[in-house]
Chain A
Amino acid sequence: MSDRDFTNRLSGLAENAARTGTLGPAADIRRRGDQRRRRQRTLTGVLSAVVLIGALGAGVAFGQHHSTSKLGPPAGSAASSPSVGTPSKPPWTGTKKFMQVQSGQINGGVVTLTVRPAKKVILGESFETQPLAGPYTEVALGAQARILLLDGESGTAESFVGALGTRTAQQLGEGFDITFDTEGKVALVEWLYTP
C-alpha cells in the first residue's frame, strides 16, 4: 500500500469519526472550562490564605527572634547570616510564591534555581508579571520536586532547566508558581504559560 493509499484510508477513518462522533455544544465546553477556572481560583485563594497565614506566622516568629536577639543569642546558637545564594534555608519555607526564575543550574546532580518574588497582576482571564525589587536567591529543588506544565502534564527538573535557557526575551520576565516544602526546598514549579 502506497503512502497515498494509506493516507486516504486514514483520512476516511478520521472523517467518519469526525462525522459520527459525539461532541457537546460549544456552550457546554465553555461551561466546563469556566468550572475549571473557578476551581483553580478557589484553590489559588486557599493557597494564598495559607501563604498569608504562614507569612503572619513568620512575622510573629521574626518579631520574637528579634526581641530575643536584643538580649543576646542563646548559648550555643550559631550566628545567623542571611545572604544571597543560600540554598539551604530560603525565607519561603512551606509557602507558595509567584516568582521570576532568572536561571536554573545542575551541579553534581543537584538542581538549583535562581529566583525572586514577583507580583501577579490579574488582567481578566490572564495575568501580568510585575517584577519586585530585591535580590535573586538560589534555591535547591527537593528530591521529589515536580514540574507541572500548563496542560497538567509533568516534566523533569532537567528539562525544566533546559527550557529556562531557551526562553525568548519576552518569556524571561514571566513568573512561575513555586511551592516550597518544609525544608525550604522547591517542591513544585508550575508553568503558567505554554513554553
Chain B
Amino acid sequence: MRDAAEFDAFYAGSSRRVLGQLYAMTGNRAEAEDAVAEAFARAWQRWSQVRDCDSPEAWVRRVASRIAVSSWRKAVNRIRAHRRDTLEQDVAGLSPDHVALVHALRQIPADQRRVIVLHHLVGLNVAETAAEVGAPTGTVKARLVRGRKAMAQYMSDCSGNFPEGVNHNV
C-alpha cells in the first residue's frame, strides 16, 4: 500500500507536467495522452526500480517520448486520434499564438521537437539534453538550430512574426 501511495503522489505531482511536455513533443493531444498513460503504467509495473532512478519523472518522460515516436504505436494512435479528435478539435480553444506554435511543431522532425522541448521547456542545458536523448552534444545543438530555424519559417508563414534568434545556453 505504501508503494501505491508513493506512486499516486508521484503521478499526481508529475503526470500533467509530463503531459504538457509530451504534447509539445508530439503536437498531438491524443498521442501525448496515450503515451503518458502508457509510460506511467510501465513505471508502476517496475516501480521498485523506477523510484530509485535519479529522476523518475525523467524516466517516464523518456519512455513516453519513445512510445510516442514508435512507428507501430504511431500507426495505432493515428487511428485512435482520428476517432477521438480531429486536428481542428485538437487545437480548439488555443490562442492564435499557440495554434501557430502547434502548427510549426508539427512540421519539424520528431528528434528536433524533442530537443527543443527538453531545452526550452524542461529547462535542460545542451549536455543534459544530449544525455536524455542519447545523442552527442553537437547533434543536439544542430537539431536545436535547425528546429528553431524551421519553426521560425513555419510560424512566420502562419503569423508573419517570428525572427530567427537562436541562442544556446549550455
Among A14, A27, A193, the residue within 8 A (CB) of B49 is A193
The answer to whether A10 touches B117 (Cβ under 8 A) is: yes
Shortest CB–CB separation between residue B137 and chain A, in angstroms?
18
Q: How many of chain B's residues touch chain A, expressed as a range?
A: 35 or more
Could you tell me if A10 and B16 are in contact, using CB atoms closer than 8 angstroms?
no
In the complex, besides A26-B12, A194-B59, 7 extra interface pairs with C-beta distance below 8 angstroms are A1-B152, A10-B101, A13-B24, A21-B16, A23-B19, A33-B44, A36-B41
Q: For residue A2, which residues in chain B have a CB less than 8 angstroms away from its CB?
A: 165, 167
Among A1, A3, A125, A151, point to the contact of B42 (Cβ < 8 A). Answer: A151
Given A33-B42, A33-B44, A126 and B32 touching (CB < 8 A)? no
Residues 151-169 (chain A) with a chain B CB within 8 angstroms = 151-153
Residue B43 at the A interface, CB < 8 A? yes
Per DSSP, chain B at the interface is helix
Give the CA-CA distance A169 to B152 in the complex, in Å: 47
- Complex contacts, B33 vs chain A, CB 8 Å: 21-23
Say which residue of A26, A36, A193 sits within 8 Å of B7 (CB atoms). Answer: A26
* 15 A-B residue pairs with CB within 8 Å: A1-B165, A2-B165, A3-B165, A10-B24, A10-B116, A14-B24, A29-B11, A30-B4, A33-B47, A34-B45, A37-B45, A125-B48, A151-B42, A151-B66, A194-B59
B136 interfacial by beta-carbon distance below 8 Å: no
Instruction: Report the tally of A-B residue pairs with Cβ distances under 8 A.
Output: 132
Residues of B within 8 A of A24 (CB): 37
B20, A17: Cβ atoms closer than 8 Å: yes
Task: Check if B128 is an interface residue, CB within 8 A of chain A.
Answer: no
Q: Is the CB of B98 within 8 A of A3?
A: no
User: How far is it, in angstroms, between the C-alpha of A148 and the C-alpha of B12 when the chains are bound?
Assistant: 30
Cα(A7)–Cα(B148), bound, Å: 11
